[in-house]
């Protein structure tokens, strides 16, 4: 009895541990259409986990096509904690398989610690099954798409590089054919041409290619006309502009992030601090200086310029200058950063200027500091006392003759 209970506890604990490991596969099914006998096709699914620890996984298949499948990077792989994993499923049917649709399942299972066949846990390990189908056909589909194409600016005597993303959406292996013409700035003449057909593109796959062209062009602006062909038919044509720059220019890059004012409301005559924030995005340190102007009603009312400072790679520097408005109104503070013979795009900020307030002035003796004796109060008090004494004195003199007059009148009576 105790032995049965013990085995039950072990099974429950293992089941709880497996249940706590979350795993998912997206999409929930995979199907392959129009696969040729002896051909090739591939699709990618995303395997994810919510586990807090790494887990080992194994891929297997059930159905008539199980021997046609392979997986990249392999039948077993490790899922990192709380991560996603791209699993590529590859189909390569034999040459003698009949046409038709073949159904089955592809299963992604979590292996117990210790790998395959590690004991009781292997029998109850978590797994996700994908319903799968493969259609075998003898109808050849020859086609590809150009998903993206681009060209970068380059330097003198450095190659011109065209990047392209291609997709074979057919079921036949093919070599895409690309033609590129380098045109003058006015597009009136072809300066260089190149043909490219070196990359083998397998069915259902996507590839990125890089086409390089030797560059002996002088500094200036040019255009690249890129044309993609399929069986001598044009499937894509695009015109792209690029520049040939002075040697070393592409290693020095920068960006004016913003222009910031310490105040946006000021009075006429008040000093305003102007800061330009410049980020060095290149691979070399760059000396930088901010040059700008202040405009009012579309008229330039001030020129501003910072000191030159060197901005280290990857850092943002503050280029500081000052402006004192002489008129009221809505000013626009704008400018650019000049660095290593290059210049940024212009940025701007708004400054609102008001008329200065008229403040009252006096000609009295300046006030004493807070907490000291107020000399004005002492003087005013002393003057008031003098006026009171004088008033009383004159009042006494005027009333005395009246009293003496009344006294004499009484005696005479």
Could you report the per-residue pLDDT of 101-128, keeping only the tens digit for each?
999 999 999 988 654 444 443 334 588 9
Direct distance between the N- and C-terminal alpha carbons of the chain, in angstroms, rounded to an integer: 152
Task: List, for residues 69-100, the tens digit of each pLDDT value.
Answer: 999 999 999 999 999 999 999 999 999 999 99
CATH annotation of 252-354: 2.60.40.10
- CA dist 206 and 88 (Å) reads 13
User: Quick one: pLDDT at residue 125?
Assistant: 55
Task: Name residue, tokens 């696969």.
Answer: 35
The CATH number that domain 2-137 falls under is: 2.60.40.10
Tokens encoding 104:
């089955």
Q: Which of 321, 329, 324 is nearest to 260 (CA)?
A: 321
Cα distance between residue 64 and residue 134, in whole Å: 10
Task: Name every residue whose Cβ is closer than 8 Å to that of residue 326 and which is 6 or more positions away in sequence.
Answer: 268, 269, 301
Nearest Cα to Cα of residue 105 among 78, 134, 83: 134
The b/e string for 2-11 (b: 16+ C-beta within 10 A; e otherwise) is: eeeeeeeeee
Report the candidate in 353, 306, 317 with the shortest Cα–Cα distance to residue 332: 353
Adjacent-strand bridge partners of 61: 106
The answer, yes or no, to whether the previous bond of 27 is cis (omega within 30 of 0) is: yes
Residue 50 has pLDDT above 80, yes or no: yes
**Prediction pTM value:** 0.59
Identify the helix (H) or strand (E) that includes residue 304: strand 299-305
Indicate whether 15 pLDDT > 60: no
- Mapped onto helix, strand or coil, the DSSP state of residue 406 is helix
* Domains 144-248 and 252-354 belong to one CATH topology: yes
Structure tokens at 383: 């003057």
């586990």: which residue's tokens? Answer: 51
CA pair distance 96, 289, nearest whole angstrom: 73
Full DSSP string of 10-50: HHHHHHHHHHTS-EEEESSEEEEEEEETT--EEEEEEEEE-
Domain boundaries, the chain: 2-137, 144-248, 252-354
Q: Cis link prior to 73 (omega < 30° from 0)?
A: yes
In tens, the pLDDT along 251-303 reads: 888 999 999 999 999 999 999 999 999 999 988 888 999 999 999 998 999 99
Q: How far apart are CA 335 and CA 292, in angstroms?
A: 4
Which residues 6+ apart lie within 8 Å of 390 measured at CB?
Answer: none
Q: Is the pLDDT of residue 17 over 80?
A: no
pLDDT over 70 (residue 408): no
Domain at 144-248: CATH code: 2.60.40.10
Q: Which has the higher per-residue pLDDT, 358 or 193?
A: 193
pLDDT digits (tens, 9 = 90+) for 39-49: 999 999 999 99
Of 175, 172, 194, whose CA–CA distance to 183 is shortest? Answer: 194
CA atoms of 48 and 53, how far apart (whole Å): 13
The tokens describing 50, both together, are 């919510």
**Residue 20: pLDDT over 50:** no
Quickly count: other Cβ atoms within 10 Å of residue 283's Cβ. 11
Burial (CB count <10 Å: 0-12, 13-18, 19+), residue 406: exposed
**pLDDT at 388 (0 to 100):** 77
Q: How far is CA 412 from the centre of its chain?
A: 118
Q: What is the CA radius of gyration of the chain?
A: 44
> Which residues, listed in sequence order, are joined to residue 318 by a DSSP beta bridge?
277
Sign of CA dihedral 361, 366, 368, 374: negative
Residue in the structure block whose two tokens are 């000093």:
271
Whether the pLDDT of residue 232 is over 70: the answer is yes
The string over 123-148, giving b where at least 16 C-beta atoms fall within 10 Å of a residue's C-beta and e elsewhere, is: eebbbbbbebebebbeeeeeebbbee
- Judged against a pLDDT cut of 70, whether residue 410 lies above it is answered with no
For 321-359, write each residue's pLDDT tens digit.
999 999 999 999 999 999 988 899 999 999 999 998 765
Give, for 254, the enclosing helix (H) or strand (E).
strand 254-261
CB 236 within 8 A of CB 227: yes
């Amino acid at each position: 009895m105790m032995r049965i209970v013990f085995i039950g506890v072990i099974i429950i604990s293992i089941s709880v541990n497996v249940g706590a490991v979350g795993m998912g596969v997206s999409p929930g099914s995979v199907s392959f259409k129009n696969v040729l006998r002896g051909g090739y096709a591939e699709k990618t699914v995303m395997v994810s986990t919510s586990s807090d620890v790494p887990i080992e996984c194994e891929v297997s298949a059930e159905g008539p096509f199980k021997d046609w499948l392979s997986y990249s990077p392999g039948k077993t792989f490790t899922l990192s904690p709380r991560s996603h994993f791209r699993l590529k499923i590859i189909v390569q049917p034999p040459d003698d398989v009949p046409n038709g649709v073949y159904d089955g399942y592809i299963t992604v299972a979590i292996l117990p610690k210790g790998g395959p066949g590690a004991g009781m846990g292997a029998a109850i390990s978590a797994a996700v099954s994908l319903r799968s189908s493969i259609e075998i056909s003898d109808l050849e589909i020859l086609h590809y798409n150009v998903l993206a194409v681009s060209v970068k600016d380059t330097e003198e005597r450095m190659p011109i590089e065209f990047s392209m993303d291609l997709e074979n959406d057919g079921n036949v292996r093919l070599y895409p054919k690309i033609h590129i013409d380098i045109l003058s700035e006015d597009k009136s003449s072809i300066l260089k041409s190149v043909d490219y057909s070196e990359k083998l593109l397998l069915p259902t796959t996507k590839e990125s290619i890089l086409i390089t062209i030797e560059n002996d062009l002088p500094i200036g602006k040019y255009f690249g006309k890129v044309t993609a062909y399929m069986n001598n038919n044009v499937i894509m044509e695009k015109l792209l502009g690029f520049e040939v720059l002075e040697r070393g220019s592409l290693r020095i890059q920068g960006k004016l992030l913003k222009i910031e004012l310490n105040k946006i409301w000021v009075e006429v005559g008040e000093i305003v601090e102007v800061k330009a924030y410049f980020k060095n995005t290149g691979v070399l340190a760059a000396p930088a200086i901010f040059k700008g102007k202040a405009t009012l009603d579309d008229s330039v009312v001030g020129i501003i310029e910072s000191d030159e400072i060197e901005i280290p790679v990857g850092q943002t520097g503050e280029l500081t200058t000052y402006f004192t408005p002489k008129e009221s109104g809505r000013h626009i503070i704008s400018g650019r950063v000049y660095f290593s013979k290059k210049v940024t795009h212009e940025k701007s900020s708004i400054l609102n200027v008001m008329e200065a307030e008229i403040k009252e002035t006096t000609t009295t003796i300046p006030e004493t500091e807070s907490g000291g004796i107020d000399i004005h109060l002492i003087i005013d008090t002393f003057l008031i006392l003098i006026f009171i004494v004088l008033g009383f004195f004159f009042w006494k003199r005027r009333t005395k003759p009246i009293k003496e007059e009344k006294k004499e009148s009484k005696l005479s009576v």
